[in-house]
Amino acid sequence: MEETGDAILFQLFVTEAIAHGALRRGDISVVDNCTIHLAGENEGFADELLVRCGILMITLPPYYAELNPTELVFQTLVTRMRATRARLGCNETDLLMSVNSTLADFTLQDSSSFYSHCGYFYTNENGIQYN
């Protein structure tokens, strides 16, 4: 049986992130507006996280792709795929090879630019970037 994410699994994920130091007091955790994050069994979870651990959890507005670097990844993938697909044709095997090749071509600079575009990095007047 395939497992799916739910509110309890999300709480466990956050707990493990805290235990392993990925989330610490003073951090801000940005989540999308999926119901498993703050509704149902997790109603009040953000308040508890702030009070007990000093971690602020905020949600992105619904359908606000401009703040979601993942949307930029998909947008870039689609743009690059269109160019590749035009050269390869519509064959399913060629398309799969094109997806793999395009994903392999994503660089650290690509990822950094997606996060920077969404405002997750700060660049000072000397060009030094902080996250």
In the numeric block, the tokens 């702030």 are attached to 50
Same-domain pairing of 24 and 40:
yes
Same-domain pairing of 95 and 57:
no
The helix/strand/coil state of 119 is coil
Question: Which domain range does residue 110 map to?
Answer: 66-130
pLDDT tens digits, one per residue of 2-45:
445 688 888 988 999 999 988 999 999 988 878 888 888 888 99
Note the pTM of the prediction, 2 decimals.
0.48
The helix/strand/coil state of 30 is strand
Same-domain pairing of 33 and 72:
no
At 102, list the tokens.
């395009």
Same-domain pairing of 34 and 59:
yes
Write down the pLDDT at residue 3: 46
* Boundary of a domain, candidates 63, 80, 106: 63
Rounded to whole angstroms, how far apart are CA atoms 32 and 96?
Answer: 29
The proportion of the chain whose per-residue pLDDT surpasses 90, expressed as a percent, equals 18
pLDDT tens digits, one per residue of 115-127:
888 877 655 556 6
